Every structure is written in C-alpha cells, then in structure tokens.
Amino acid sequence: MDAQTLLALLEERSGQFVSGAEISRKLGVSRTAIWKHVRKLEAEGYVIEAAPRNGYRLVERPCRLSPAGLSAKLATRVFGRRLQVLDAVPSTQDVVRELAEAGAPEGTLVLAEQQTRGRGRMGRAWVSPPGKGVWMSLLLRPRVPLPLAPQLTMLAAVALCRGLGRIAPLPIGIKWPNDLLVEGRKISGILLESAAEDERLKHVVVGIGISVNLEAEDFPPEVRAKAVSLRMALGRPLDRTDVVAAVMEEFETLYELYDGQGFGPIRSLWEARSATLHRRVRLETPQGTVEGTAEALDELGGLRIRRDDGTLHTVYTGELTGPLQMAEGERS
C-alpha cells in the first residue's frame, strides 16, 4: 500500500469516517503504516481528521496539485503513471524534453503550479500564473514515422476537447490546428515538440495549457478580449485534479485507438468538433496569405481551403486570422 491507496479509500467515503480497523483490513497494513501515510498526505496539503473511536476522515483537499491526489484520481494505465508536480519552472516542456533524452518512458507527465516562461505556438508567450491553471507536458514515444507527426497534433486537440467536455458543459470548438475556443475565445492551447532521427520519431512532448480558474484580470490586457477560463465561462471554479484526470483518460483512450486503427477515427472526431471547417478563413502562411472556405482535413493534418477562384489549396503551417464564430446549434 501507499499513500494514494489510502487517499482513494478516504475519497470514496467523501468526508465520512473510516475506522483504522477497516483500513488495516482492506489495505493489509499495520496501524503504524496508516499513520505514516496520513502524515505524508498532510505534508501534501490534505487535512485529515483522526479520531480515536471513529478512525480517519478527509476534511480538506489541498488547493495545490499533489502527486498522490492526481495518482488516486487517474484511471489510466500509462499516461501520468510517472508524474512530477513542480512549483515554478520556466517551462514544463523543457523539463520533459530533458527527461525524454535521459530515457524516460512514454506517459511521463510533468505539471507545474506556475510557468515563468511558458511557450505557445509560433514562439509566443503563454500566460501561466501560479495555482490557477493546468500547465503540463506529457511524453509520447509514438510508433509512427515522422511524416505522420501532425496527426498527433489533431489527436491532442480532440483529447483535450473531449476531456474538458466531460467536466464542463461548454460549447468547446477546435480552431485549426489545435486551439480550443469557447465562443471565439481561447480556453486552452497545445504545443507539440517533436524530435526525430531521419524518418523515425524519437519522442514528442505534448505541452498543454488550460486556463482553469483564471479570472479576467489574470490575463494581460492585450489578450483579455481573446481569452477566457473555464471558471469565467462556467461561473464556478473547477478542481484542477479533475481536469487533469479527465484529459489524461481521454488522451490515453484516443492514443490507443489511433495506435490500433490509425488516423481515420481521430479525423472524424476532429471534424465533428471543428470550429474552422465550412467557414471562411484567412491564413497567414510562410508563402503568403490564403483565403477561402475551409473544406476538410487531409491525411497529414493539413487544412484544405477552397479559394474563391475554385482552386483547392492545402495548408500545413500557418496562422488562422479569419473570422471564426461558432454557428448556432453547435454546442458540444
């Protein structure tokens, strides 16, 4: 037994007492061992009441993310089974990249309470204030060749969209390639950093930023009109541990689906959640501006755009700047 097994048992009883005798029996440990684990949980910020006749009960969860709390909630086989929660780091991406190069296994997950130099797409900064969001990086070692790496970008967007949808009844749409929007405002971002040797992917570090409990003033003035948090959209705060667990579970499920059945099912799921398809778009690409109607996603994650002169153009890299609104009836 370890601390998280004890925590899971206490969580199960949601605030009711569990007797020491029952814990000893169920987990097969001594009273002394129980006490040691209680102390460990308290060190992580849990408040546990111990009453001589009644046993133990969980009074308060920490507002900080805790490894034991996350492990107890995660119903995954691989994703997040190795995890670290750090205090303040420049970027969780760099931490996981170093772990990857040192041989860390697939599914290694690193979270930080705060990022001081969080990165977004196109080298932009990503706002990651302490304690209010989920700033994390997940290590993948996919068995796909390099040209197919962009499919993982789409997979990550679908996983995040579905994971958040499980705990927050909001109309979340995917802006190509992988921003998540609620009513046109960004609620989450994804950044995949890949390393390859020839055509062989060595590893992919998936950076995920979710604005969970930020309030309007937590965003810098220049992004306030374009950004929103789950708390602002829902009108209530969420438990960040629930957010991480839901996203990791969806991610692992879809990753296994992809491994077994390829990109087809992922593409359908992406298309169903897309806030970009069938709309007029304007894209800034290294080769210039492309304007037209977004028609489909191709096998490599490229966006097929029908220009006004009828020609079809596929874009793999670029920045969507065109008008983007969720149409009516597209609540997810």
Taking the complex as a whole, the smallest distance from the CB of residue 312 to a second copy amounts, in Å, to 17
Residue with Cβ nearer a second copy (204 or 214): 204
Tell me the three state secondary structure of residue 240. helix
Beta-carbon count within 10 A of 147 CB: 12
Tell me the three state secondary structure of residue 77. coil
State which of residues 48, 50, 196, 257 lies at the interface with a second copy (CB under 8 A): 196
Taking the complex as a whole, the smallest distance from the CB of residue 150 to a second copy amounts, in Å, to 5
Residue 41: partners with Cβ closer than 8 Å, 6 or more residues away: 3, 6, 7, 48, 68
308 in Cβ contact with 292 (< 8 Å)? yes
Taking the complex as a whole, the smallest distance from the CB of residue 317 to a second copy amounts, in Å, to 4
Taking the complex as a whole, the smallest distance from the CB of residue 302 to a second copy amounts, in Å, to 8
Phi, psi of 156 (to 5 degrees): -60, -40
Residue with Cβ nearer a second copy (78 or 196): 196
Tell me the three state secondary structure of residue 56. strand
E-only strand ranges, 259-315: 280-285, 288-297, 303-306, 312-315
Taking the complex as a whole, the smallest distance from the CB of residue 198 to a second copy amounts, in Å, to 5
Residue with Cβ nearer a second copy (131 or 147): 147
Q: Which of residues 131-190 bind a second copy (CB under 8 A)?
A: 143, 145-150, 153, 177-178
Is residue 198 a contact residue for a second copy (CB under 8 A)? yes
Q: Is 331 exposed, middle or buried (0-12, 13-18, 19+ CB in 10 A)?
A: exposed
Residue with Cβ nearer a second copy (262 or 265): 262
Amino acid letter, 95: V
Query: What CA–CA distance (Å, rounded) separates 77 from 58?
Result: 26
219 in Cβ contact with 127 (< 8 Å)? yes
Taking the complex as a whole, the smallest distance from the CB of residue 299 to a second copy amounts, in Å, to 9
Residue with Cβ nearer a second copy (52 or 123): 123
Beta-carbon count within 10 A of 65 CB: 24
Residue with Cβ nearer a second copy (55 or 150): 150
Is residue 90 a contact residue for a second copy (CB under 8 A)? no
Part of the chain binding a second copy (CB under 8 A), chosen from 45-53, 195-203, 250-258, 324-332: 195-203
Residues binding a second copy (CB under 8 A):
121-122, 143, 145-150, 153, 177-178, 191-200, 286, 300-302, 316-317
